[in-house]
């Protein structure tokens, strides 16, 4: 079995969010299972700074509109990079806080065509082309159009994984030409989307199988309120749509072994967690006098994540004696709001605006509760990491949050976190109050923490789901 995995980001090379963790972990688990896997991604400048992949001496040349781009094929173990300075030599992966790079359509047409051409150049004849998110979503349609008569891909089936339906790669119609697809595909049944071109839709209409990252999200995206305009298309493909819950790499995220922490701990002995909390409180300059909880947030600062919901609920949260720690990067408006909020409540609120994995580890380990009031959440990794680090999540009952968090029941004492319905300040407050109340009884607090630490979200199950699909398709 040969799997060509195409993703715009993957751990350990480049990461802006959960997709990178998923793509990276999936590749390494498949390799462990002896599935011949080749990951293709762009050679961003951030990759160049930390890795030195070998030059294969081969390259791909792709004509996009009236310009031809050349990409050198570099290789590091099971990953192949397309090195094309004019497209990928940028400070960020997709854009800056002011907005997306204006040539993103071109950048990811190059990735999609380039991945197929690189497979040919390296004589890697895939049984499966597994494409992640809109940046790789043209591939399933390329296989059924531009490459349909190419004997090299005669046995190739495609899997399209949606990590977040909120990002579709929608571009003005006048950019359609650069996809290289024929005019017959620019129709409402094709890739046309309200007069624009929609890259993700290309994958949805043509992939042999569509997956998304949790069973609940797989159901939610069929509804108009969660479908971002593609619910109709998804409904028409619902027979080929599966929800496979992501895992986390439990060797990478392990409080018992995490070297970046001041002290390690595990469910049988939580003592080390107190040392992590102490360090976090001191690094954030929090006044811990009243012994209240430390509630944290780690994530992209976008409307999806509900950081505004936390800010709205903050006065009351602070009045309960709960301190707040934020780590995030994203939309300029949220960055500013958090910075101002942190300044206004020094000693009670700490905002770190940036992407900092090391600090995120201290936040996951050192806080008491983890806030995730997402408006929607395809799977979410933050809550799984928080659970494993003994920091019960307080989260909105949506998507993967509903599939991984068991709501605490004060009567039975069972549960590993606190859920509320609908991303509102009132809902969040109610759930934080319940958490504060439950945590005031040490025995209860310990049971909740331990239930989360032992929940276990390994990749093994997810990989079985994917290999099952690969076999079904290539059977």
Residue 310 Cβ vs ligand ADP, minimum distance, rounded to whole Å: 14
The residue assigned the tokens 């002011």 is 98
Residue 134 Cβ vs ligand ADP, minimum distance, rounded to whole Å: 14
Task: Determine the Cα–Cα distance for residues 244 and 353; give it in Å rounded to an integer.
Answer: 32
Is residue 11 within 8 Å of 21, Cβ to Cβ?
Answer: yes
* Near ligand ADP by CB under 6 A: residue from 120, 242, 329, 345: 329
Residue 164 Cβ vs ligand ADP, minimum distance, rounded to whole Å: 6
Stretch that binds ligand ADP, among 54-62, 100-108, 203-211, 349-357 (CB under 6 A): 349-357
Residue 314 Cβ vs ligand ADP, minimum distance, rounded to whole Å: 19
393 lies in the site for ligand ADP, by CB under 6 A: no
Stretch that binds ligand ADP, among 203-211, 325-333, 391-399, 447-455 (CB under 6 A): 325-333
17 lies in the site for ligand ADP, by CB under 6 A: yes
* Near ligand ADP by CB under 6 A: residue from 380, 393, 417, 452: 380
Site for ligand ADP in 262-301 (CB under 6 A): 298-300
Instruction: Please report the beta strands in 219-348, taking only residues with DSSP state E, as ranges in sequence order.
Output: 241-243, 294-301, 323-330
Nearer to ligand ADP, 299 or 306 (CB): 299
Closest of 69, 86, 78, 70 to residue 41, by C-alpha: 78
Q: Are strands 349-353 and 369-372 parallel, antiparallel or unpaired?
A: unpaired
Nearer to ligand ADP, 218 or 385 (CB): 385
243 lies in the site for ligand ADP, by CB under 6 A: no
Nearer to ligand ADP, 328 or 342 (CB): 328
220 lies in the site for ligand ADP, by CB under 6 A: no
Residue 360 Cβ vs ligand ADP, minimum distance, rounded to whole Å: 4
Residue 350 Cβ vs ligand ADP, minimum distance, rounded to whole Å: 13
360 lies in the site for ligand ADP, by CB under 6 A: yes
Nearer to ligand ADP, 116 or 396 (CB): 396
DSSP string, 196-213: EEEHHHHHHHH-SEEEES
Nearer to ligand ADP, 385 or 435 (CB): 385
Q: List the alpha helices (DSSP H) in 239-306.
A: 271-283
Residue 302 Cβ vs ligand ADP, minimum distance, rounded to whole Å: 8
161 lies in the site for ligand ADP, by CB under 6 A: no
Residue 439, CA atoms < 13 Å, CB-side half-sphere: 26
Nearer to ligand ADP, 113 or 273 (CB): 273
Measured CA to CA in angstroms, residue 130 lies from 43, 64, 136, 207 at distances of 19, 23, 9, 9
327 lies in the site for ligand ADP, by CB under 6 A: yes
Is residue 313 within 8 Å of 349, Cβ to Cβ?
Answer: no
* Near ligand ADP by CB under 6 A: residue from 140, 243, 328, 366: 328
Task: Determine the Cα–Cα distance for residues 301 and 299; give it in Å rounded to an integer.
Answer: 6
Q: Are strands 241-243 and 209-212 parallel, antiparallel or unpaired?
A: parallel
Is residue 112 within 8 Å of 180, Cβ to Cβ?
Answer: no
Residue 258 Cβ vs ligand ADP, minimum distance, rounded to whole Å: 13
Measured CA to CA in angstroms, residue 312 lies from 87, 232, 306, 324, 428 at distances of 40, 34, 10, 13, 10
Task: Determine the Cα–Cα distance for residues 351 and 341; give it in Å rounded to an integer.
Answer: 8
357 lies in the site for ligand ADP, by CB under 6 A: yes
The token pair that represents 124 in the structure block: 């890697």
Question: Distance of alpha carbon 328 from its chain centroid, rounded?
Answer: 14
The token pair that represents 158 in the structure block: 């495609």
Residues that bind ligand ADP (CB under 6 A): 17-19, 21, 164, 298-300, 327-329, 355-357, 360, 379-382, 385
């Amino acid at each position: 079995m040969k799997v060509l995995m195409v993703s715009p980001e993957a751990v350990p090379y480049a990461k802006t969010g959960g997709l990178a963790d998923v793509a990276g972990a999936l590749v390494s688990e498949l390799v462990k299972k002896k599935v011949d896997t080749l990951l293709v991604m762009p050679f961003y400048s951030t990759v160049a700074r930390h890795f030195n992949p070998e030059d294969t001496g081969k390259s791909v040349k792709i004509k996009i509109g009236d310009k031809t781009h050349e990409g050198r094929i570099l290789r590091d173990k099971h990953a192949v990079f397309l090195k094309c300075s004019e497209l990928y030599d940028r400070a960020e992966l997709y854009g800056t806080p002011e907005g997306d790079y204006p040539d993103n359509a071109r950048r990811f047409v190059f990735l999609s065509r380039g991945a197929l051409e690189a497979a040919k150049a390296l004589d890697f004849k895939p049984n499966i082309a597994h494409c992640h998110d809109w940046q790789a979503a043209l591939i399933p349609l390329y296989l059924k159009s531009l490459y349909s008569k190419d004997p090299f891909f005669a046995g190739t089936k495609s899997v399209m994984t949606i990590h977040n339906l909120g990002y579709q790669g929608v571009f003005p119609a006048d950019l359609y030409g650069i996809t290289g697809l024929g005019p017959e595909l620019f129709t409402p049944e094709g890739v046309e989307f309200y007069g624009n071109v929609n890259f993700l839709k290309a994958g949805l209409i043509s992939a042999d199988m569509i997956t998304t990252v949790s069973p609940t999200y797989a159901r939610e995206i069929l509804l108009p309120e969660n479908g971002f305009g593609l619910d109709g298309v998804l409904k028409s493909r619902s027979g080929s749509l599966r929800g496979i819950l992501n895992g986390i790499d439990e060797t990478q995220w392990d409080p018992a072994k995490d070297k970046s922490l001041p002290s390690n701990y595990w469910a049988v002995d939580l003592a080390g967690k107190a040392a992590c909390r102490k360090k976090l409180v001191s690094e954030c300059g929090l006044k811990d006098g009243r012994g209240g909880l430390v509630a944290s947030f780690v994530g992209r600062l976008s409307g999806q994540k509900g950081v505004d919901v936390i800010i709205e609920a903050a006065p009351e949260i602070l009045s309960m004696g709960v301190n707040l720690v934020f780590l995030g990067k994203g939309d300029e408006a949220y960055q500013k709001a958090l910075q101002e909020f942190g300044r206004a409540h020094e000693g009670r609120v700490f905002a770190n605006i940036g992407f900092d994995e090391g600090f995120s580890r201290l936040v996951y380990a050192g806080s008491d509760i983890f806030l995730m009031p997402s408006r929607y959440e395809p799977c979410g990794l933050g809550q799984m990491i928080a659970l494993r680090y003994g920091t019960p999540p307080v989260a909105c009952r949506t998507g993967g949050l509903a599939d991984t968090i068991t709501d605490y029941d004060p009567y039975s004492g069972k549960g590993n976190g606190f859920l509320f319905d609908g991303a509102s300040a009132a809902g969040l407050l109610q759930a934080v109050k319940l958490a504060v109340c439950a945590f005031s009884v040490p025995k209860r607090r310990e049971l909740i923490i331990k239930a989360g630490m032992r929940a276990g979200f390994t990749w093994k199950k997810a990989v079985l789901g994917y290999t099952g699909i690969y076999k079904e398709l290539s059977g």
